[in-house]
Structure 1
Amino acid sequence: MSSILLSPPHIPQVQIPEKLVLQIASVITLEINRAFVILREIASGKDLKQFLSVIAGLWVVSILGKWYNFLTLVYIAVVLLFTLPVFYEKYDDQVDAVAEKALIEIKKQYAVFDAKVMSKIPRGQLKDKKF
């Protein structure tokens, strides 16, 4: 089109302000550091229930990763993100009742697991460390 009009096209100059970039980098750095703190707390094993739930979640993700490729998992996640809120709004009473029953059953199973397995693991005495 410029060859027809014999004038060079005007392309505007685009600049991102340095202050904005530094603010975004600062926010991202804070969030990454917060995630590292959470990961360190989980990996330390202080909260055993959270530690075991993370292990179980990673185990489920690894099984799903064996069955499906990445794009299929992304597609399933997107479909679920769009359909589950609508499903919950429509059937919230029934979903809450089933979730409450499932939570009670999970707590029973965890109590049995704690009594049979976790209580038999020897634990060392904790010594108070002076810093």
Structure 2
Amino acid sequence: MGTMPENILNNIVESLAESIPKQDAAALFQEENPHSAAPLYNRLLNRQKTVHHVLGGGKSADVLLWRNKKISGSVLAGATAIWVLFEWLNYHFLTLLFIALVLVMLAQFVWSSASGFFSRSSSQVPRLKLPEELFVNVGMVVGSEVNKALGFLQDVALSRDLKQFLVVVASLWAAAIIGSWCNFLTVLYVGFVAVHTLPVLYERYEDQVDSFACQLLGQFRNHYQKLDAGIFSKIAEAKLNAKKHE
């Protein structure tokens, strides 16, 4: 009797073999035009438009692609400052929040106390108030993005596309390993930096990245074909023979 990990692996392989038709598995990584590297990579990413358009266009895409270097640099510098405060200087969110509130109150107190010297009324002291729409919009955006992510994961699980399924599972597994190395804030910061650097680097070196990715996908396709011929086919034949004997 095999060990528990072996039994789990066998169950996964059997489920994949049952869920993927033979003709689909053979054509899973079939290239339509092996002499065109960039179009193949674009098809694999379901991308036939510019990187700017894929990122949603508008100001957010401009920031991610560094169309305005001052704004993009300021956003990245602000995120870095927050990460340094919390991670390197060991500040806590509540500590910074209360210190900021104390500074605001102190500034208002000094302004109000000195208003008599400048013949100004206390009503002219600026008051801080956050709009309620801000919290509503933030909640709606966060909820919408979470639902999109959950919908994407479920679509991948139900699409019977083994290539996409394995890529997503490997990405989640890598994220889980990275999360075990560092805390949640560091993971967020690394992801934020990646989002603000990888798109612009890909846009600048798109041809080189596409060519390299096609080479990796070609190697992965060869390994999958060997796996399909060596394991999936034998599993399918064994199940077919077992059904005949029954």
Q: Shorter-chain TM-score category?
A: 0.5 to 0.7
After superposition, residues 49-60 of structure 1 pair within 5 angstroms as 49-60=163-174
What corresponds to 2:185 in structure 1? 71
What corresponds to 1:101 in structure 2? 215
Q: Percent identity?
A: 39
* Gap regions ≥5 residues in structure 1: 124-131
SS in 1 for 2:174: helix
Partner residue of 2:229 out of 89, 110, 115: 115
* Gap regions ≥5 residues in structure 2: 1-110, 241-246
Q: Deviations over 1:30-49 (max 9, x none)?
A: 66555444333334474443
Q: Aligned in 2, Cα 1:90/1:51: closer, same or farther, shift over 3 Å?
A: closer
Is 1:92 matched up with 2:206? Answer: yes
The letter of the residue matching 1:58 is L
Is 1:2 matched up with 2:112? Answer: yes
C-alpha RMSD over aligned residues: 3.8
The letter of the residue matching 2:195 is L
Is 1:41 matched up with 2:155? Answer: yes
Aligned length: 119
TM-superposed CA distance for 1:78, in Å, is 3.6
The letter of the residue matching 1:2 is S
C-alpha distance in structure 2 between counterparts of 1:83 and 1:55, whole Å: 24
The letter of the residue matching 2:177 is I
What corresponds to 2:194 in structure 1? 80
C-alpha distance in structure 1 between counterparts of 2:175 and 2:196, whole Å: 21
TM-superposed CA distance for 1:83, in Å, is 3.6
RCO higher in structure (CA 8 A, sep ≥6): 2
Q: Aligned in 2, Cα 1:15/1:70: closer, same or farther, shift over 3 Å?
A: closer
